[in-house]
């Protein structure tokens, strides 16, 4: 959204100057052989400033995407580690439960062992 506003401002500034007769942009025309480019120093400054701001905006977006990616990688690693730890604890509890079930079943079938 910010880029659109800046672009709109540049276009509006260009249109105002064009109305005043200060056309500073050469359109690349195959018939006249002119190279496309900006000739008016004011338009050059505006274009350079807009380009700089756009590059800064893109750089900020890239940095935030990298930070998000790093966070997600760290989150995945810690989550996997914690889940593995919980899985080991659950396996230990399941084995203990099986031992207790065997003891209870043997106690109910042969009560004289515990007296």
Tens-digit pLDDT profile for residues 2-45:
444 456 666 666 666 666 554 444 444 444 444 456 667 778 88
**Is the Cβ–Cβ distance between 47 and 32 less than 8 Å?**
no
CA 8 → CA 5, 17, 28, 46, 75, distances in Å? 5, 14, 22, 12, 40
| pLDDT, tens digit, 9 for 90 and up, residues 37-74 | 666 777 888 888 889 999 999 999 999 999 999 999 99
**pTM score, whole prediction:** 0.48
């Amino acid at each position: 959204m910010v880029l659109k506003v800046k672009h709109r401002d540049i276009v509006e500034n260009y249109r105002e100057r064009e109305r005043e007769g200060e056309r500073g942009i050469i359109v690349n025309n195959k018939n006249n052989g002119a190279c496309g480019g900006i000739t008016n120093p004011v338009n050059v400054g505006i274009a350079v400033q807009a380009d700089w701001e756009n590059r800064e905006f893109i750089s900020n977006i890239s940095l935030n995407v990298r930070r998000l990616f790093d966070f997600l990688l760290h989150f995945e690693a810690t989550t996997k580690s914690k889940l593995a730890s919980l899985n080991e604890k659950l396996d230990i509890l399941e084995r203990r439960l099986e031992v207790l079930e065997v003891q209870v079943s043997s106690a109910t079938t042969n009560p004289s062992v515990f007296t």
